[in-house]
Structure 1
Amino acid sequence: MKKRKYILSQLVLLLTLTLHSTVFAQNLTDSIAGPITLKQAINYALRNQPAVKQASIDEQINERDIRIGLSGWLPQVNGSGLYNYYFKGSPQAGASGANIPSNVGSIRNLSTLGITASQAIYNNDVFLASRAKKYSRQYYKDNTLSSQIDVVSDVSKAFFDVLLSEKQLDITIADITRLQRSLKDAKNRYTAGVSDPTDYKQATIALNNSLATRKQTEEAIKSKTALLKQIMGVNGSTPLSLSYDSTRYEQEISIDTLQALNVNNRIEYRLLESTKALNNLNVSYYRYGFLPSLSATGSYQNAYFSHDLSDLYNNGFHTGYVGLTLAVPIFQGTKRLQNLAKAKLQVQRTDLDLENTKNAINTEYTQALAAYKSNYASYRLIRENVDLASDVYKVVSLQYREGVKTYLDVIVAQSDLRTAQLSYYNALFNLLSSKIDVQRALGILPVEQPQ
């Protein structure tokens, strides 16, 4: 009975651990489901976009490079071992690092075991690694941030592009519904002998055009959604649906257009400044390359030798020393001077990159701000047209049914309503995209850390 209870308890424990492991593994899997907001799309992309992951890995690689460079400040310890068999003659005193006493007879086997250590006191290479770590860390940290900014901008614009196409599809479907109703009215009037077949044919033409537009828009949504998935790092077979909040988007269209441009806020400019700092360190490295390298050294050696291999390690002779090693570069064929001149030219080139980037940032900001102001004015004016066009269509449609207006008036009113609705969403999403461009040009585009 006790054995059965023990087996049962072990099975229950095993099942519990299995279920817990399964649930834990599922929690670790990053998934995206249901209609997602722009914020959710951005956070998912920051966690899964390959370019962001690569930038993070580059940051880790740089950290390893820093540790590799700084490892030169730590003691360097090496062990050594040697065995020689002399089939002719015998080793002389000092051979193979061994001091052989003169009273030792014929030698056929010799072996040495030892350990050496060195400690750098001053070394130009290691000194450069110590000074460069601060700037290289900042460079790769900014490089990761740059990748994140690209993702935020690209995901936002692709997200708005898909939403725009979805809204265009909704407008087209609503237009088809109106056209079907108009076609039915025109057909009934023609059947009743009130109108000629022209109205019926015009309604059919307009309906067919809208049906073709619907198909084109549906295919465009598939294409744009595939691009959004790629930017987000979503698997192509994973379904993706977007959430649309018109009130929130309309509340987020404004931005302070009086903000002063500061190029130091731009990540591209900061990356170049870090590059210049690293280039300046190279100049210092080659400028002081004539300084000697100094290190402390030490060694301890055991030497074993005998005529017979069987008693080789019975007796040993021990030697050890400590000292200083000084390496002075005297002449390197002007290599140091040429590298110094090259490093100075690289600094000058980086200065020109900074100047060119500053000018490009000013131009980018001016263009982005002009586009934003233009889109904002268009949005404010076009938003009023939607309500006006909707009222006009309702009146004209009612008047057509009463025989006051012609069908041509209905077609014009429908076209105006559809154009106003499409123009409204175009203006809204163009305005939101241009706001992102302004924020990026100012260097204030918010980047939330992946959760």
Structure 2
Amino acid sequence: MKKRIYVSWLLVSWLFFLQAPHLVSAQEQAFSLPQAIQYALQNRPSLKTLRNQEQIDKARVGEVRATGLPQVNAGVEINNNFIQQKSIVDFSEFGGASQLNDFTITQQQLRSGQDIVLSPSYSAPDSVPGPQAITFVQPWTGAAALSASQLLFDGSYLIGLRAASTYTQLSKKNTQQGEIEVAEQVSKAYYSVLVAGEQIKLLDQNLRRLDTLLRQTIIMNQNGFVEKLDVDRLRVSYNNLKIDHDKAQRLLALSQQLLKFQMGFPQAQPILLTDQLNENSLATAKPMGNYAGFAYGNRIEYGILETQRDLALLNQRNIKAGYWPRLLLNANYGYNGVGRTFSRLLDVRAGANNTTTRNWFDFGVVGLSLQVPLFDGLRKSYQVQQSRIQLENVKLGFEQLQQAIDLELRQSDVTLENTLSVLRAQRQNLELAEEIARVSRIKYQQGVGSNLEVITAETDLRAAQTSYYSALYDALIAQVDADRATGALLLK
């Protein structure tokens, strides 16, 4: 039984060992450049923040719209008037200065059997009381009311609705601008990783080639065909190349971390780039040349400025609409209650007849409210002046942006043309350096060349390789900048 368990564990361990490489590779995610850009557009935290801001701006539009909808409120309150408010009342002003005189019905009048007519008489009292302090407030009062209002006309509200819609457009364009910036950053970081990877491949090839040459030179030195100085020279060159290889490895790791950051990709998860670094990506790269027909609307910055101009115009109209009247419909309905004690107040006796047997009495009111602005100390006049200047600044912004775009187009063209020219020259230098290194190695192996000549050729080859890939990277970056300048970065 124990032997079977042991064999089972060996079988499970062996299967896990076979599947382990597949499990590791399954965690590695491959990306082409368009896939990397698309991943960044969906997962970059800064873009998620911009999209959240879009939702906030949509909610603000609803907030503005809610101002023009019916506003309904209900409220209940109970008050204890522990010190009741009093008023001074002079009852003499209400005819209270006269008093009823006494009268007497005699027995004779009663025995007569005839109707007795009473005629009251009044006379002035001996002393008339002066003003007295009395209260009209019960110790406990309460109220329950339902109020509603409806905005019928407000010029600022109507313009505010249009401004809110325009503001959401501005929010969307800000998000588009953020997406373009992310695409630019991811593209440059992606090419940086490709360049670092190609440099490591070349360094690996050079290391293997130089290691082979070093081994051959050591054998030749042992056989007395070359001096130890030749071996030492090759060993120094090999050590320097190994140092460059280690630096390139660290640079590749750093470039990958930067790319992951730009993509919003987890730093701990490995990434694989599927694109190859070659000049095929620059097949369609060429300067624009003709700038006269360029449409400035292709640039998102121009669209944002147009939306800001629309907002400035609406703001000016909104200020002027402050001179218009506002019309509102108001309605209230509720009950007021009184009581000498809290328990009597809560002993609700209410009705529409409002007799003295009730302690809660209803009320209702409906009406229109018209508010006409007459004079505000010239506040709106100064606001209109400010809005005009702000609108003028926006118009000047168009002129400045057009000049900046024209300059950026020309700069991108010059940079692209220069980098392509340098790339062509560096490609020729690389081909020549490879041929010189190949011939130098052959001559040295055949005994007609010197060790120093080989080392010099290898050093020149490494410099040519570095210069070529640096020029290729510069050309790719120039192409990205040119696409950004023409507004075609996310359209490709």
**Please, what TM-score do these two structures have when normalized by structure 1?**
0.83
Q: Which moved more, 1:315-324 or 1:139-148?
A: 315-324
**Map of 1:43-442 to 2, 5 A cutoff?**
43-87=38-82, 107-246=138-277, 250-255=280-285, 257-258=287-288, 260=291, 261-312=294-345, 313-315=348-350, 316-442=360-486
Q: How far did residue 311 of structure 1 move?
A: 4.5
Q: Which amino acid aligns with 2:227?
A: D
Residue 384 of structure 1, CA deviation = 4.2
Distance (Å, rounded) in 2 between the aligned partners of 1:106 and 1:203? 111
CA contact (8 A) 2:195 2:277 kept: no
The number of equivalent residue pairs is 405
Question: Which consecutive residues of structure 1, in runs of 5 or more, have no partner in the other structure?
Answer: 1-30, 93-104
- Equivalent AA in structure 2 for residue 232 of structure 1: M
The aligned residue for residue 10 of structure 2 is none
The 8 Å contact of residues 287 and 414 in structure 2, kept in 1 or not, is answered as no
The one-letter amino acid paired with 1:280 is L
Describe the superposition over 1:359-408 as per-residue Cα deviations: whole angstroms up to 9, x where unpaired.
Answer: 11111111111111122223334334444433333232122111122223
Bigger Cα Rg: 2
Select between 156-165 and 314-323 the one with higher mean Cα deviation: 314-323
Unaligned ranges ≥5, structure 2 = 1-25, 88-135, 351-359
Q: Is the 8 A contact 1:168 1:422 kept in 2?
A: yes
- Deviation, structure 1 residue 208: 1.5
- Evaluate the alpha carbon distance shift between residue 429 and residue 87 of structure 1 in structure 2; reply closer, same or farther with a 3 A threshold: closer
C-alpha deviation, 1:167, in angstroms: 1.2
In structure 2, relative to structure 1, the CA distance for the partners of 1:405 and 1:77 (3 Å cut) is: same
The 1:60–1:328 alpha-carbon spacing in structure 2 relative to 1, beyond 3 Å, is same
What letter corresponds to residue 287 of structure 2 in structure 1?
Answer: T
- Which letter does structure 2 place at the counterpart of 1:443? G
What secondary structure, in the 3-state scheme, does the structure 2 residue paired with 1:289 have?
A: helix
Query: How far apart are 1:54 and its partner, in Å?
Result: 0.9
- Distance in 1, matches of 2:342 and 2:81, equals 11
Tell me how far apart the structure 1 counterparts of residues 242 and 479 of structure 2 sit (CA, whole Å): 34
Question: In structure 2, how many angstroms separate the alpha carbons of the residues matched to 1:262 and 1:431?
Answer: 25
Which residue of 2 is the match for residue 33 of structure 1? 28
User: Residues 432 and 253 of structure 1: is their aligned pair in 2 closer, same or farther, counting only changes over 3 Å?
Assistant: farther
CA distance in 1, matches of 2:464, 2:393: 52
Asked whether the 8 Å contact 2:28–2:271 carries over to 1, the reply is yes
Secondary structure in structure 2 of the residue aligned to 1:288: helix
Q: Sequence identity of aligned pairs in percent? A: 28
Give 1:446 deviation, angstroms: 1.2
Offset from partner CA, 1:312-366 (integer Å, 9 cap, x none): 3212322222221112222223221222222222212222222222211111111
Indicate how the Cα distance of structure 1 residues 256 and 132 shifts in structure 2: closer, same or farther if over 3 A, else same. farther
Q: Is the 8 A contact 2:51 2:175 kept in 1?
A: yes
Q: In the TM superposition, what is the alpha-carbon distance from 1:32 to its structure 2 partner?
A: 7.1
Q: Secondary structure at the match of 1:141?
A: helix
Quick one: structure 1 residues 134 and 256, their matched pair in 2 at CA, closer, same or farther if it must change by over 3 Å? farther
Equivalent-residue separation in structure 1 for 2:213 and 2:469 (angstroms) = 25
Give a deviation string over 1:287-314, Cα, whole Å, max 9, x none.
2311121111111122223445444321
Shift, 1:253, TM fit: 4.0
> Contact conserved, 1:152 with 1:447, CA < 8 A, in 2?
no
Q: Return closer, same or farther for 1:167/1:71 CA change in 2, 3 Å cut-off.
A: same
Deviation at 1:205, TM superposition (A): 1.8
CA contact (8 A) 1:253 1:431 kept: no
User: CA separation in 1, counterparts of 2:66 and 2:483?
Assistant: 42
Equivalent-residue separation in structure 2 for 1:88 and 1:141 (angstroms): 60
Q: Which amino acid aligns with 2:462?
A: R
| Contact 1:49–1:233 (CA under 8 A) maintained in structure 2 | yes
Tell me, yes or no, if the aligned pair for 1:171 and 1:422 is still in contact at 8 Å.
no
Q: Which residue of 1 aligns with 2:6?
A: none
CA spacing shift, 1:88–1:433, aligned 2, 3 Å: closer
Letter in 2 for 1:212: I
Q: What's the RMSD between the two structures over aligned residues?
A: 2.5
Shift of 1:164: 0.8
Looking at structure 1, the residues matched to 27 and 475 of structure 2 have their Cα atoms a distance apart, in angstroms, of 28
Do 1:292 and 1:327's aligned partners in 2 also have CA atoms closer than 8 Å? yes
Q: Distance in 2 between matches of 1:113 and 1:55?
A: 46
More helix by share: 1
Structure 2 residue aligned with 1:10: none
**Counterpart AA for 2:265:** V
Q: Which moved more, 1:53-62 or 1:277-286?
A: 277-286
Deviates more, 1:288-297 or 1:423-432: 423-432
- Look up the SS of the partner of 1:74 in the other structure: coil
TM-score normalized by the length of structure 2: 0.76
